[in-house]
Amino acid sequence: MISEKIKDTISGTPIIPGDKSISHRSIIIPSISQGVCEINNLLKSDDVIHTMNAFKEMGVKIEESDNKVIVHGLGLNSLKRPSKEIYLGNSGTSARLLTGLLASQSFDSKITGDKSLSSRPMKRISDPLSQMQAVISTVNGCLPLEIKGKDLKNSTIDIKIPSAQIKSGILLASLNTSGTTKIIEHNVTRDHTEIMLKSFNADINIDKENNKKIIQINGKKELTPNNIDVPCDLSSSAFFIVAALIHKNSKVLLKNININPTRNGILIALEKMGANISYINKRISNNEQVCDMEVFGSDLNGCELDGDLAKLMIDEYPIISVAASFANSTCIFRGLSELRVKESDRLELIKKNLLRCGVDCKIEGDDLFINPSKTYSIKDHTIQTNYDHRIAMAFAVMGSKIGQIKIDEANCIKTSFPNFIEEFNKVGGNIN
């Protein structure tokens, strides 16, 4: 894929796909509920399709028509042993959430993935599940995972790593476990699983105690389905937000965007940089906060972001690093250790690719320093993605500003935003 420099305007109303995190959960939770659930605006990306195919393989009836998906759930213990290993491609969310769910089933299963997913750490989910007496085997802490389904023991689990995937995997294991499981969370992470479980009448209670989140879930209660309208993805919106901000006289309108406060760090950060963003028609849909946004070309300031904010926007650092490249002073992004265990070592890839684009930047420990320049001299026209979709899309936006760059393995974009190229070109981009 080649991204070319454009005339200095981005404008229009791009169609943003459904939220990826919520889409995964919109397949998983209805599949183990009792009844029929109709889902609108589900993201049909490679990652979510892998989740959907996994449940079809386990006997769940899932119908697709137009922009709707209908899931026929038959209860907590209705899943059937798959006839083959469950292949999840590049989807870390699918792998970690299904590990928890499958650990409490009555059958054994095996989870595999592609080369990228097979290098990501899985003991971060298998270890806490072992406290519930789950039996999970890894290969040097990674995929493939072999899961021996069994009755689990309720427990109190202390989560120190800021990861919604770990928390959600434990929650899904707890649903089919007798008694009360208690999760102590030390960091703010996305709460889409808790929100959806509440709407499906799970027996779940959430409290705050000494800056910790305490979640208690009483297992073995069957879930009652509700229809789901998936809001549009803030992480996918971020590429258009930044593209508009860094091009003069730009204006984009983004509709029905999820602004859940456990993941809106990108908006907080951009506003700190002086971004001109208007929020319109704020509302609640399926207990999630959504709104429309107008974004205008802006003169961005440098800023310093601490590690606490990183917990609210870990997926958005590739694109905010592009924004930082065109600020009027240095940006410092601190506490980015979690970027090293995403689809790639995103922290190193951001630095490497910014340097290729002529941006002065460096890493010290887990902190990223970006020094913008008046001019950019492209040192290497090829962007290395390591099959990371967010790196690919972020540097497509970079190319629209500085000139022709080639993005390797750009088909990785299909994991989260299949129509990205079409939508970006529609508002003024030039991607071949």
pTM of the model as a whole: 0.96
Contact by Cβ (8 Å): 247, 10: yes
Rounded to the nearest 5 percent, the helix, strand and coil shares of the chain are: 35, 25, 40
CB neighbours of 211 closer than 8 A, spacing ≥ 6?
Answer: 186
Q: Which of 312, 281, 283, 284 is CA-nearest to residue 199?
A: 284
Which pLDDT does position 374 carry in this prediction? 78
- pLDDT one digit per residue (tens) for the chain, 432 residues: 999 999 889 999 999 999 999 999 999 999 999 999 999 999 999 999 999 999 999 999 999 987 899 999 999 999 999 999 999 999 999 999 999 999 999 999 999 999 999 999 999 999 999 999 999 999 999 999 999 999 999 999 999 999 999 999 999 999 999 999 999 999 999 999 999 999 999 999 999 999 999 999 999 999 999 999 999 999 999 999 999 999 999 999 999 999 999 999 999 999 999 999 999 999 999 999 999 999 999 999 999 999 999 888 989 999 999 999 999 999 999 999 989 887 678 999 999 999 999 999 999 999 999 999 878 888 888 999 999 999 999 999 999 999 999 999 999 999 999 999 999 999 999 999
Q: Which amino acid is at 252?
A: V
Q: Which amino acid is at 338?
A: E
3-state secondary structure of 276: strand
Residue 315 known to be catalytic: yes
From 47, 233, 315, 388, the catalytic residue: 315
Which pLDDT does position 399 carry in this prediction? 96
CB neighbours of 223 closer than 8 A, spacing ≥ 6?
Answer: 29, 32, 33, 34, 73, 76, 175, 197, 200, 201, 202
Q: Which amino acid is at 134?
A: A
- Report d(CA 143, CA 120) in Å as an integer: 8
20-218 belongs to which CATH class? alpha beta
Residue extents of the structural domains in the chain: 2-18+231-426, 20-218
- Concatenate the DSSP letters of all residues of 216-271 into one string: EEE-SPPP----EEPPBPHHHHHHHHHHHHTSTT-EEEEEEEE--TTS-HHHHHHH
Contact by Cβ (8 Å): 67, 44: no
Q: Which fold has domain 2-18+231-426?
A: UDP-n-acetylglucosamine1-carboxyvinyl-transferase; Chain (3.65.10)
Q: How far is CA 70 from CA 38, 48, 229, in A?
A: 5, 15, 12
